[in-house]
Amino acid sequence: MIDIEVVLSPALLHLAEVKNKNVVVIDILRATSTICTAIHEGASSVRAVDSIDEALILRNQGYVIAGERNGHKIEGFDMGNSPFECMNGLLTDKKLALTTTNGTKCITAAMIAGASHVIAGSFLNIDATANWLKTDNKAVILLCAGWKDKVNLEDSLYAGALSKKLLNFNQLKLECDSTFMVLDLYEKAANNISEYLTKSSHYQRLSHLHHQEDMEYCLTENKFTTVVGQKNVEMFKIN
């Protein structure tokens, strides 16, 4: 049985015992969806970085640099934080450095805390991720990036969806109230997640910035089977 804990905000991560567990970082709109797409589309690796300055240093080492702050592309960067910018061969065999408002900091935090693997969580490959976690059979923390340390709907919904899939495998040990919460939330929204999320603050924020196409893409299940996880400081395909 896999023991699973849901951390609804990065501000709560210090309360969890991370060491030697698999941590799935969840930033559905859009960082972890962009990371998974980049690897699926042929990027050799993705490095999540916390700061703009760190990304600029990596550009001098041959990385393509991408990032956003508050949903806006960072001025002077090669790319923003849209999965569509990763397509059409633009990143084939290239290294990508990504910095975002929420998600990339969570990847760094999980790594520093001693996670066994840090996995990029995405609806785009949710079945493959569930199967990988089942096979690896370690305790799991689902870390929701949220929005500036606040809880959000889309990351919580993904945590519920992934928990549900593990529960369907009879592989899930349930002792965490936040896991029960996200399972109940997912059951309520499962028939039409996109419609349910129209009420969410980040969905509305990105709509105002004309990222509707990104959001529809990021909420699509199982477009590919690539699982993305971190080895040292880089994220690669791990299945």
Structural domains of the chain, with CATH: 2-230 (3.90.1560.10)
DSSP structure class, residue 158: H
User: What are the tens digits of pLDDT across the range 78-116?
Assistant: 999 999 999 999 999 999 999 999 999 999 999 999 999
Mean pLDDT of 175-183: 95
16-60: pLDDT as tens digits: 999 999 999 999 999 999 999 999 999 999 999 999 999 999 999
pLDDT in tens, 185-211: 999 999 999 999 888 886 787 776 668
> What is the widest separation between alpha-carbon atoms in the chain?
48
Residue 60: other Cβ atoms inside 10 A: 8
User: Distance (Å, rounded) from C-alpha 22 to C-alpha 35?
Assistant: 18
Q: What is the mean pLDDT of residues 49-77?
A: 97
What does the alpha-carbon distance between residue 60 and residue 54 come to, in Å, rounded to a whole number? 10
pTM comes to 0.96
| 46 close to 94: Cβ distance less than 8 angstroms | no
Cα(185)–Cα(6) distance, integer angstroms:
13
Place of tokens 């941590």: 23
SS3 call for 61: coil
Residue 234, SS3? strand
What phi and psi, each to the nearest 5 degrees, are found at residue 105? -65, -35
**How many other CB atoms are found less than 10 A from the CB of residue 232?**
9
